A and B are shown apart, each in its own frame.
Chain A
Amino acid sequence: MKKWGFIVGGLLVALLLAGVVSNFASSHPDGLDSSLREGCTFDADDEITGGSCPAQQEREHEIGGPLADYGIAGLDNEFLSTGLSGVLGVLLTFAVAGGAFWLVRRRDPAAENAAGADRADPATTSRG
């Protein structure tokens, strides 16, 4: 039970960071982005107005999607939009990563070489 207490506590911290603190993050371009923008000038809307820089070659993202750029499409309240997208991202990442790791985990320490062996009943080995 102690183990899950830590996991739940950690998740709450992550949710708080992504859901609330994220709204206070710096809105300046990051180290990579700003390096690629070197040599160009930008207007208030962040559109390139002149010069020459690697960022000019940037192309549209293939997918975009309703959560693109860490916001909820159609939600005008920026605080809620950023925060909710962060909360969804934390839960999704935990589900995908945690689920995948749980599925591939080693069941029996003695049989760790039997990788890919049948993965029978996960229920019986659910606590370490």
Chain B
Amino acid sequence: METLAMHISNGIINGPVAAVFAVIALAAMAYCVRRGRQDLDDRLAPMAGLVAAFIFAVQMLNFPIFTAGVSGHLLGGALAAMLVGPWVGALCVAVVLVVQALVFGDGGVAMLGLNITNMAVIGLGVAYLLIALLLRVLPRTPAGLAITAFVSALVSVVVAAMGFVLQYQLGGTTDLGENLAGLAGTMAVSHLFIGIGEGLITATTVVTVAKVRPDLVYALRALKPAAPATVPTVGGVR
């Protein structure tokens, strides 16, 4: 059962590159605190705590993907972006990664900056750009919401995986030479399948929350439809 290490472990990326990404991650998170404060009111704060706890829980649920004994698990970027917005969402994912590194021995503490950059910064950034785009062009229906969640989750997972490949190119501790393309390939293919799982989980969760408490879905509040006169808003309590 040596299986539940799911983030970058110590020794995989060299110290200097890990340190550079620690600085990048810290700066990004500081910026997210500044921007996120504007979103964080009495309603969003407990919801954001719940989103972080939920991501922690679902990350434990490795699901099998295609063949050859490979599994995948939620990263949570698109889910967080949908429910609590990009800034607070990035902080949610970062808190999960910090708890996992400090308390659960998952992901080296020295590697935290790399993991936060991939999953909280890149993952959230890509997801939210797609959410903002798709929610404006797709109809305001449960199906439109589900497609938005699915696509943004899938793409953000693959791009986050490529973030790791870039980091490995900069500071990987094994000289892969020509094989770096091979690493990029296996990462891309496995995370394409993981992204499908991520998309299904994200869409199911977001549609469920939207059904029960539409006012708690940040993306529905913040991103008004392009033609508000013709389409009834689903969320907007504020």
**A interface residue numbers (CB < 8 A to B):** 3-4, 6-7, 10-11, 13-15, 17-18, 21-22, 25-36, 38-39, 45-46, 52-65, 67-70, 78, 82, 85-86, 89-102, 104-106, 109, 112, 115, 125-128
Contact B53 A11 (CB under 8 A): yes
Q: A29-B70, A34-B186 are in contact. Are A101 and B5 (CB under 8 A)?
A: no
Residue of A15, A58, A125, A126 with highest tally of chain B CB at under 10 A: A58
Q: Which residue of B lies closest to A35 (CB)?
A: B186
Docked pose: A105 CA to B119 CA in angstroms: 23
Q: Among B4, B61, B88, point to the contact of A69 (Cβ < 8 A).
A: B4
Q: Which residue of A lies closest to B96 (CB)?
A: A93
Contact B62 A27 (CB under 8 A): yes
B103-111, B132-140, B143-151 - the one binding chain A: B103-111
Q: In the complex, what's the smallest C-beta–C-beta distance from A96 to chain B, in angstroms? A: 6
B28 at interface, CB cutoff 8 A:
no
Contact B103 A128 (CB under 8 A): no
Q: A32-B6, A65-B105 are in contact. Are A4 and B62 (CB under 8 A)?
A: no
Contact with A along B38-67 (1 / 0, CB 8 A): 111111111111111111111011111100
Q: A6-B213, A11-B50, A105-B44 are in contact. Are A89 and B99 (CB under 8 A)?
A: yes
Contact A33 B5 (CB under 8 A): yes
Contacts of B65 in A (CB 8 A): 31
Which applies to chain A's interface (DSSP): helix, strand, loop or mixed?
helix
Contacts of B161 in A (CB 8 A): 31-32
Q: Which residue of B lies closest to A59 (CB)?
A: B11
Q: A65-B103, A105-B41 are in contact. Are A94 and B216 (CB under 8 A)?
A: no
Docked pose: A20 CA to B71 CA in angstroms: 19
Contact A54 B174 (CB under 8 A): yes
Docked pose: A56 CA to B174 CA in angstroms: 8
Docked pose: A64 CA to B100 CA in angstroms: 10
Docked pose: A63 CA to B101 CA in angstroms: 8
Q: Which of B180-202 contact A (CB under 8 A)?
A: 182-183, 186-187, 190-191, 193-194
Q: A34-B190, A54-B176, A69-B4 are in contact. Are A62 and B10 (CB under 8 A)?
A: yes
Contact B99 A62 (CB under 8 A): no
Q: Which residue of A lies closest to B6 (CB)?
A: A30
Docked pose: A17 CA to B205 CA in angstroms: 13
Contacts of B105 in A (CB 8 A): 61, 63-65, 67-69
